[in-house]
Amino acid sequence: MKNGVMMQYFEWNIPDDGKFWELLKKDAKHLHDIGITAVWIPPACKGTKSNDVGYGIYDLYDLGEFDQKGTVRTKYGTKNELKEAIEELHKYKISVYFDAVMNHKAGADYTEKFLAKEVDPNNRDKVVSEPYEIEGWTGFDFPGRKNKYCDFKWHYFHFTGTDYNQANGKKAIYLIEGEGKSWGEGVDGENGNYDYLMYADIDFDHPDVVEHMKDWGRWVAKELNLDGMRLDAIKHINEGFIKEFLKAVRAERGKDFYAVGEYWKQDINSLNEYLSALDYNIDLFDVTLHYNMYQASTQGRDYDLRNLLSDALVKLHPELAVTFVDNHDSQWGSSLESQVKSWFKPQAYALILLMKEGYPCIFYGDYYRIGDEESPHRLIIDILLNARSKYAYGDQVDYFDHPNTVGFVRLGDKKYPNSGLALLLSNGENGNKVMNVGQNRKGEIWYEFTGNIKDEVTIDENGNGNFLVEGGNIAVWVKKSE
Q: How far is CA 369 from CA 14, 42, 301, in A?
A: 9, 16, 28
Could you tell me the pLDDT band of residue 481, with boundaries at 50, 70 and 90? Answer: confident
What percent of the chain shows pLDDT beyond 70? 99
**How many whole angstroms separate alpha carbon 356 and alpha carbon 287?**
18
In residues, how long is the chain? 482
pLDDT at 445 over 90: yes
pLDDT at 91 over 80: yes
Domain spans in the chain, listed from the N-terminal domain onward: 6-101+207-391, 105-202, 396-479
CA torsion angle 244 247 249 250 (round to 10): 170
CATH fold label, 396-479: Immunoglobulin-like (2.60.40)
Q: Of 2.40.420.20, 3.40.50.620, 2.40.30.140, 2.30.30.110, which CATH number belongs to 105-202?
A: 2.40.30.140
**How many whole angstroms separate alpha carbon 436 and alpha carbon 440?**
10
Could you tell me the pLDDT band of residue 332, with boundaries at 50, 70 and 90? Answer: confident
| pLDDT single digits (tens) 173-230 | 999 999 889 999 899 999 999 999 999 999 999 999 999 999 999 999 999 999 999 9
Q: Which amino acid is at 300?
A: G
Residues 76-100: what's their mean pLDDT? Answer: 98
Picking from 188, 200, 192, 247, the residue whose alpha carbon sits closest to that of residue 103 is: 200
Could you tell me the pLDDT band of residue 482, with boundaries at 50, 70 and 90? Answer: low
What percent of the chain shows pLDDT beyond 90? 94
| CA dihedral (24, 223, 13, 16) positive or negative | positive
Q: What is the pLDDT of residue 368?
A: 97
Residues whose CB is less than 8 angstroms from the CB of residue 108 and which lie 6 or more positions away in sequence, other chains included? 137, 138, 139, 140, 154, 200
Q: What is the pLDDT of residue 2?
A: 66
3-state secondary structure string, the chain? CCCCCEEECCCCCCCCCCCHHHHHHHHHHHHHHHCCCEEECCCCCEECCCCCCCCCEEECCCCCCCCECCECCECCECHHHHHHHHHHHHHCCCEEEEEECCCEECCCCEEEEEEEEEEECCEEEEECCCCEEEEEEEEECCCCCCCCCCCCCECHHHEEEEEEECCCCEEEEEEECCCCCCCCCCCCCCCCCCCCCCCEEECCCCHHHHHHHHHHHHHHHHHCCCCEEEECCHHHCCHHHHHHHHHHHHHHHCCCCEEEECCCCCCHHHHHHHHHHCCCCCEEECHHHHHHHHHHHHHHHHCCHHHCCCCCHHHHCHHHEEEECCCCCCCCCCCCCCCCCHHHHHHHHHHHHHCCCCEEEEEHHHHCEECCEECCCHHHHHHHHHHHHHHCCCCEEEECCCCCEEEEEECCCCCCCCCCEEEEEECCCCEEEEEECCHHHCCCEEEECCCCCCCEEECCCCCEEEEEECCCCEEEEEECCC
Q: Answer whether 411's CB lies under 8 Å from 437's CB.
A: yes
Whether the full predicted model's pTM is greater than 0.75, yes or no, is yes
Could you tell me the pLDDT band of residue 232, with boundaries at 50, 70 and 90? Answer: very high
Q: Answer whether 119's CB lies under 8 Å from 126's CB.
A: yes
Buried b (16+ CB within 10 A) or exposed e, 62-101: bbbbbebbebbbbbbbbbebbbbbbebbeeeebbbbbbbb
Neighbours of 222 (CB within 10 A): 12
Q: What is the pLDDT of residue 376?
A: 96
Q: Answer whether 265's CB lies under 8 Å from 233's CB.
A: no
**How many whole angstroms separate alpha carbon 268 and alpha carbon 274?**
10
Residues whose CB is less than 8 angstroms from the CB of residue 225 and which lie 6 or more positions away in sequence, other chains included? 83, 86, 87, 90, 96
**How many whole angstroms separate alpha carbon 66 and alpha carbon 133?**
34
- Give the chain's mean pLDDT: 95
Residues 469-478: what's their mean pLDDT? Answer: 97
Q: Answer whether 145's CB lies under 8 Å from 157's CB.
A: no
On the question of a common fold for 6-101+207-391 and 105-202, the answer reads no
Q: What is the pLDDT of residue 3?
A: 82
Beta-ladder partners of 478: 447
* 6-101+207-391: in CATH 3.20.20.80: yes
Could you tell me the pLDDT band of residue 335, with boundaries at 50, 70 and 90? Answer: confident
Residues 274-278: what's their mean pLDDT? Answer: 94
Residues serving a catalytic function are 232, 262
pLDDT at 383 over 80: yes
Buried b (16+ CB within 10 A) or exposed e, 324-357: bbbbbbbbeeeeeebbbeeebbbbbbbbbbbbbb
Neighbours of 417 (CB within 10 A): 10
Highest mean pLDDT: which range of 1-5, 329-333, 463-467: 463-467
**How many whole angstroms separate alpha carbon 347 and alpha carbon 289?**
13
Phi-psi region of 104 (alpha: psi -120 to 50; beta: other; left: phi over 0): beta
Residues 390-397: what's their mean pLDDT? Answer: 96
Residues 414-441: what's their mean pLDDT? Answer: 95
